[in-house]
Amino acid sequence: MIEPAWNSLSMDMLSSNQTLDSVANQPMPASISISELPSRNYQTSAPIFNPPASTSILQHTGPTAKTVEEMESEDFVRGLLDFQKSNGCFKFSDEEKVKTILGPSILSVVAGLKAELDNFDIILTITLVNLLEGQFQSCQNLWILMVRKAEEYISACSLGPKADTLMQEARNRIRVIPSVMVEVRNMKAIAASAIELQMAPVE
């Protein structure tokens, strides 16, 4: 004999009600503290920095390449170090050497200052201090210690107010002369042409 479907459904509902009643009659568990909860390992990850898209296409360029003129100026300043003595003064053997290394304009400045003080080494040192400060600012890092040492030498010469007068006179004269590097470059070109003429075969 087949039982009606509603009989089976009634039995299922009765069983469910009994289960619910048994659960309801059970005592409530005691309150659980946070410390009794299972521990979980929460790892804090560092934030990820995503640069703007625009920065990814920026090109990082190195230092700007120096021009030929800048490199020649630096070589000139380095060359002056060979003529500076341990006491700070610049010493050339004679005026012809000054003309060959520094050019005719610097020689004219030295000659004009010698009328104020007949001491070749002091006058030349004062002239070169003002030359470096006036025409070689682009490579100051190369000569700043040279100038400081030269100024100490000038101070040690005990010229008094005369030192300030000569420094100002040298500064004024340096301002009106041509670029020393242009003169030195021209002298080198003339010397190179003279050598070529000497080496040229005679027809």
**Per-residue H/E/C for 27-47:** CCCCCCCHHHCCCCCCCCCCC
Residue 34 scores a pLDDT above 50: no
**Selection from 133, 125, 106, 108 nearest residue 166 by Cα:** 125
> What is the pLDDT, as a whole number, of residue 128?
98
> What is the pLDDT, as a whole number, of residue 42?
44
Res. 190 pLDDT band, cuts 50 70 90: confident
**Selection from 76, 67, 66 nearest residue 188 by Cα:** 76
Res. 48 pLDDT band, cuts 50 70 90: low
Q: Do the beta carbons of residue 72 and residue 185 sit within 8 Å?
A: yes
Segment 157-178 mean pLDDT: 96
- Tell me the CA distances in angstroms from 6 to 15, 39, 45, 74, one per residue in order: 14, 49, 59, 108
Top pLDDT among 201 and 10 is at: 201
> What is the pLDDT, as a whole number, of residue 26?
54
Q: Do the beta carbons of residue 128 and residue 150 sit within 8 Å?
A: yes
Residue % of the chain over a pLDDT of 70? 68
Domain spans, the chain: 71-198
> What is the pLDDT, as a whole number, of residue 175?
96
Q: Do the beta carbons of residue 191 and residue 123 sit within 8 Å?
A: no
Residue 53 scores a pLDDT above 60: no
- Tell me the CA distances in angstroms from 138 to 74, 132, 145, one per residue in order: 9, 10, 15
Q: Do the beta carbons of residue 175 and residue 105 sit within 8 Å?
A: no
| Mean pLDDT, the chain, integer | 80
Residue 156 scores a pLDDT above 60: yes
> What is the pLDDT, as a whole number, of residue 23?
46
Contacts for 24-27 with beta carbons within 8 Å, 24 or more apart? none
Against a cut of 0.95, is the pTM above it?
A: no
Lowest mean pLDDT among 25-29, 64-68, 78-82: 25-29
> What is the pLDDT, as a whole number, of residue 72?
93
Res. 22 pLDDT band, cuts 50 70 90: low
